[in-house]
Amino acid sequence: MDALQTHVHAHVVQFLDELSRLVRQPSVAASGEGIGECAALVAEIFRTAGATLTVFTRDGAAPLVVAEFPGAGQRTLLFYNHYDVQPPDPLGEWTTPPFQPTVRDGKLFGRGVSDNKGNLISRLSAVRTLQAVHGGLPCRVKFIIEGEEEIGSVHFEEYIADHAAALAGDACIWESGSRDTKERLVLVAGVKGDCYLDLHLETATMDLHSSIGAIVDGAATQLIWALASLKDPTTGLIRVPGFYDRVRAPTAREREELRRLPFEEEEYKELHGVKRFIGGKTGEAAKHDYFYMPTCTVSGFISGYTGPGSKTVLPRRAAAKVDFRMVPDQDPQEIATLVGQHFAAQGFGDIAITLLGGERAYRSNLDDPFIHLVAHVAAEATRREALVYPTSAGTGPMYPLGTTLRVPIVSLGDGYWGSRAHAPNEHIRLADFEETVYLMARIMQEFGRQP
Amino acid sequence: MDALQTHVHAHVVQFLDELSRLVRQPSVAASGEGIGECAALVAEIFRTAGATLTVFTRDGAAPLVVAEFPGAGQRTLLFYNHYDVQPPDPLGEWTTPPFQPTVRDGKLFGRGVSDNKGNLISRLSAVRTLQAVHGGLPCRVKFIIEGEEEIGSVHFEEYIADHAAALAGDACIWESGSRDTKERLVLVAGVKGDCYLDLHLETATMDLHSSIGAIVDGAATQLIWALASLKDPTTGLIRVPGFYDRVRAPTAREREELRRLPFEEEEYKELHGVKRFIGGKTGEAAKHDYFYMPTCTVSGFISGYTGPGSKTVLPRRAAAKVDFRMVPDQDPQEIATLVGQHFAAQGFGDIAITLLGGERAYRSNLDDPFIHLVAHVAAEATRREALVYPTSAGTGPMYPLGTTLRVPIVSLGDGYWGSRAHAPNEHIRLADFEETVYLMARIMQEFGRQP
């Protein structure tokens, strides 16, 4: 054990206490619950740790917290994180309440313990460790901590455009990261985009008796038809005309990288109780789709009577939420427009469409030295493999950060294959958290040594 | 005004008080709320009115209340009614609470004031009126009052089969009836059947992050595809193979009767905010479908995140309720089986199907003298038209009653075109209630005069 490792191990309970304090503060971006309070708590925690704080605000936006630590040299390492979390529903499926962080079997459970408060605190704990062991940081460090990541970072692009100078840096560690079932570290150098639509249909001025069903279709039936038309049940291909027009095919290099990387399909199926993939795909074909193809998922639907027993009603209203994960160079606003045109062409032009969140996809240059540095430290310090995926299947605001601040971006974090981000019983393994604190400290060291 | 009319008018406030007392007792068959209490209250009300009570019970069934009044002659008039009501949801759309009956603008509002507690009390009030004015009834009268009508009368057939002798009579007035926008009295001599299905699909052991959507379809998406396949969006025809096999075409007489009857399509559209009928049908074609064609309606659907804002989830579970209105000679159990086979053939064999309620359609013989008697009294006493429709578009357990007890059946009741049965702000006009009490008394008189 080196001095950093020793320090982290001796203080990990303290670091976890700080994480628990942050998890106890709800911060649900979807509903707005606790967002302001959580931004204030994050600012207080970083101020107490010695950071210089800047809290940017915009009308109707969650505050953007920027925390800077001085360090050696001229170069600044950016950490991108977020203090907001996913809604905790369905509440009944949590073993312990989502906002009461609880340790069981060497794991810490709670909404946000992984995504993303755990990652945020692991990085702050690395800063504290370097300060304690070496009396200061080997590089300048800047945390960029937003509060709307889980609703599509709706104001992040504007924050970056308006405050590019204040947010500038030389390289960026992205919000999170995982370990696969073989304990290999999983890093990503890109993200998919997202287009999240709220759909609402009203077909009458009142709920009707279902005896009228021979001559009137209810809102549920009509919205079901509209949604069913979005995607082919057999191939999984999206049937919205123009949807694939802007899709940029992965480069030969990106395809080759992906071919060399593992894809734990059987483990995934077993862990999640999934029987088969779309179109019965397996192996390279499933891996390709997972990383390089866009998606169309109904994330929510409600209409009519959903209580116990029966109610013979023909519902006047139906509402749905649809999530499209996009690839370069698809544009969320354009996708929303295409979906509207498609609905109208199918006879469902009455459906009101609201774009709740839109983000573009992004892929870093895989040859950037910073990406190699992070992967090298991760592998060397853990003596395990570190896999750099050209893109995540998930989303985040890499596009505005990467294109405006012009920095290489790669992720590394405290999660593992079973962390259940976005689901009930989200958790991290305490050992992963400790390892991540150490890795972050080592990355700062190596970054400080680079010219 | 004759003596009966005078008495009804003088006592209508008292009759409405009795109705309000009954409405205040919730009795939601779908959830079971208040069913036992309501059965007891109905029994108490009838016992106080001098009836001989028999309360039949079965395991897991709502009690069947039978109330008999002695009268002149050997013939018994049956009244079929029910004391259960539809769920009051959506609660937010009621101007006053559903179980707090309230008079506004000459109307009484509350869940069940029309369907069916208002009809029940109007008939009891007619009995009280005849007793008060004439000192007794002109015929024997038997009320058959069940508590599961709104969930498909799931045990009614068994009750009738087991207690046919106790329930026997010579003719039956059905539960309800309406007035159209031209104030014509609307009677029906038949009903459609019903097959109400609960569908449940589980596609994974946990809610998944929607980033997996390129290779995994969630439960919402799959159930949407399955439901969309049930009916053709353009023609409205049901696409379940075998669905129409047992449909008995209406007789020439039934078609001719319907052609002579009005169909208030424009009034319906305007009142309910409906823009067009399925397939753009109007006039005779729409009227034919409404009365003589089966339906397929999604009455409820829930899956995933339905709160404010966005949650990027791929839901593990989806559930729906589907209501089929059937015509003679379709069989609900068979329809449920056909739907399951259709789902399996479409690749959706994992959907669990529960038949929540099933009833067969029924049509009385339009030439029966009792049907003419009721229509004649209604027209003569009100000096307005009385229209006898061969069937309702709605459902009720006429089939077991008509086939086992072998009685002619026709409806007449206290509703009107705007009563909003099954919807928020259900109500009756006080004048209609008063008129119906009088009509029921007159029908008993005429029935007593027949040989």
The CA distance from A152 to the nearest CA of chain B, in Å, is 8
Please tell me the distance from the alpha carbon of residue A337 to that of residue A245, in angstroms, as a whole number: 14
A180/A197 same-domain check = no
B72 and B214 both lie in a single domain: no
Residue of B nearest to A318 (CA): B301
Q: How far is the alpha carbon of A28 from chain B, nearest alpha carbon, in Å?
A: 10
**Among A200, A215, A288, A392, the residue to mutate for chain B (most B Cβ within 10 A):** A215
| Predicted ipTM of the assembly | 0.87
| Facing residue for B311 by CB, picked from A277, A299, A303 | A299
A414 domain residue, yes or no:
yes
Q: Give the CATH number for residue A101.
A: 3.40.630.10
Q: Are residues B322 and B402 in the same domain?
A: no
Say which of A209, A273, A305 has its CB closest to residue B321: A305
Q: Alpha helices of B24-151 — where are they, by DSSP H?
A: 35-48, 117-134
A294: preceding bond cis by omega (within 30 degrees): no
Q: At a CB cut-off of 8 Å and minimum separation 6, what does A358 contact?
A: A152, A193, A194, A195, A196, A331, A332, A333, A335, A336
What's at B347, amino acid-wise? G
* CA–CA separation, A247 and B286 (whole Å): 46
Looking at the complex, does the CB of residue A210 fall below 8 Å from at least one CB of chain B? yes
Q: Given an 8 Å threshold on Cβ–Cβ distance, is B304 in contact with A305?
A: no
B68 CA: distance to closest CA in chain A (Å): 31
The confidence band for A89, taking pLDDT boundaries of 50, 70 and 90, is: confident
Q: Are the Cβ atoms of A393 and B214 closer than 8 angstroms?
A: yes
A253 to chain B, any CB pair closer than 8 A? The answer is no
- pLDDT of res. A55: 98
What percentage of chain A exceeds 70 in pLDDT?
100
Looking up tokens 């506004």, which residue turns up?
B104
Residue range of the domain that includes B397 = 3-191+361-449
B contact test, residue of A299, A324, A359, A422 with most B CBs within 10 A: A299
**Residues of A with Cβ-Cβ distance to B151 under 8 angstroms:** 309-310
B332 and B373 share one domain = no
**CATH code for position B311:** 3.30.70.360
What is the C-alpha separation between A435 and A122, in angstroms, rounded? 9
DSSP bridge partners of B82: B146
| Residue from B311, B324, B327, B351 to probe the interface with A (highest A Cβ count within 10 Å) | B311
Beta-ladder partners of B433: none
Indicate if the pLDDT at residue A451 is higher than 80.
no
Q: Burial, B40: exposed, middle or buried (Cβ in 10 Å; 0-12, 13-18, 19+)?
A: middle
State how beta strands A208-209 and B107-109 pair.
unpaired
**Do residues B433 and B15 make contact, with C-beta atoms less than 8 angstroms apart?**
yes
**By the CB < 8 Å criterion, does A280 face chain B?**
no
pLDDT of residue B89: 87
**Measured torsion, CA atoms of residues B156, B159, B161, B166, in degrees rounded to the nearest 10:** -120
Q: pLDDT (tens digit, 0 to 9) for every residue of chain B, 451 residues total? A: 899 999 999 999 999 999 999 999 999 998 999 999 999 999 999 999 999 999 999 999 999 999 999 999 999 999 999 999 999 988 999 999 999 999 999 999 999 999 999 999 999 999 999 999 999 999 999 999 999 999 889 899 999 999 999 999 999 999 999 999 999 999 999 999 999 999 999 999 988 889 999 999 999 999 999 999 999 999 999 999 999 999 999 999 999 999 999 998 998 999 899 999 999 999 999 999 999 999 999 999 999 999 988 888 999 999 999 999 999 999 999 999 999 999 999 999 999 999 998 999 999 999 999 999 999 999 999 999 999 999 999 999 999 999 999 999 999 999 999 998 888 999 999 999 999 999 999 999 999 998 7
Cβ–Cβ contact A289 with B under 8 A: yes
Task: Give percent of chain A above pLDDT 90.
Answer: 93
pLDDT exceeds 90 at position A409: yes
At what angle are helices B117-134 and B3-23 packed, to 10 degrees?
Answer: 140
**Looking at the domain assignment, is residue B408 inside a domain?**
yes
Q: Coil, strand or helix: which one is A199?
A: strand
- The residue among A95, A154, A216, A425 with the most chain B CBs within 10 A of its CB, best to mutate, is A216
- B121 and B205 belong to one structural domain: no
Q: What is the pLDDT of residue A1?
A: 81
How many contacts, defined by CB atoms under 8 Å, are there between A and B?
336
* Residues A349 and A223 placed together within one structural domain of the fold: yes
CB-based contact, B103 to chain A, within 8 Å: no
What is the mean pLDDT of the segment spanning A255-275? 93
- Rounded to an integer, what distance in angstroms lies between the CA atom of residue B330 and that of residue B399? 12
Q: Is B91 an 8 Å CB contact of chain A?
A: no
What is residue A12's predicted lDDT score, i.e. its pLDDT?
98
Provide the number of structural domains found in chain B. Answer: 2
Nearest to B422 among A278, A296, A313 (CB): A313
CB contact under 8 A, A302 and B301: yes
B50 and B149 share one domain: yes
Is B74 among the domain residues? Answer: yes
Q: How far is CA A432 from CA A84, A411, B209, in A?
A: 21, 15, 21
Domain end residue (candidates: B342, B359, B376): B359
User: CA angle B141-B144-B147, nearest 5°?
Assistant: 155
Q: List the one residue out of B73, B209, B54 whose CA is nearest residue B142.
A: B54
Residues B57 and B170 in one domain: yes
Structure confidence at residue A235 as a pLDDT band (50, 70, 90): very high
| CA–CA separation, B444 and B287 (whole Å) | 33
| pLDDT band per the 50, 70, 90 thresholds, residue A273 | very high
The residue out of B359, B377, B412 marking a domain boundary is B359
Using CA atoms, how far apart are residues B86 and B89, in angstroms rounded to an integer? 9
Residue A34 lies in a domain: yes
The answer to whether residues A216 and A108 belong to one domain is no
Integer CA distances (angstroms), B65 to A376, A439, B174, B386, B400, in order: 80, 75, 16, 30, 17
In a domain, A74, yes or no: yes
> Same domain, yes or no, for B177 and B41?
yes
Interface of B with A in 304-323 (CB under 8 A): 304-316, 318-319, 321, 323
Q: How far is B29 from chain A (nearest CA, A)?
A: 8
Cβ of A300 within 8 Å of Cβ of B299? The answer is no
Write the pLDDT tens digit of every residue in A135-169: 999 999 999 999 999 988 989 999 999 999 999 99
Same domain, B178 and B222: no
Between residues 335 and 374 of chain A, which touch chain B (CB distance below 8 Å)? 346-347, 356-357
CA dihedral A160, A163, A166, A170 (to 10 degrees): 30
* B205 close to A (CB below 8 A): yes
Q: Is B289 on the interface with A (CB under 8 A)?
A: yes
B225 to chain A: closest CA residue: A228
Domain assignment present for A276:
no
Is residue A274 situated within a structural domain?
A: no
Q: Are A273 and A372 in contact (CB under 8 A)?
A: no
Question: How does DSSP assign A222-244, residue by residue?
Answer: HHHHHHHTTB-TTT--B-STTTT
pLDDT for A309 equals 87
pLDDT tens for A172-225 read: 999 999 999 999 999 999 999 999 999 999 999 988 889 999 999 999 999 999
Residues in chain B with CB shorter than 8 Å from the CB of A198 are 310
Could you identify the residue written with the tokens 């002619």? B408
Does residue B280 lie in a domain region?
no
Q: How confident is the model at residue A108 (pLDDT cuts 50, 70, 90)?
A: very high
Burial class (CB in 10 A: 0-12, 13-18, 19+), A108: buried
Q: Among the three residues A305, A337, A359, which one is the final residue of a domain in this structure?
A: A359
Same domain as A231, residue A309: yes
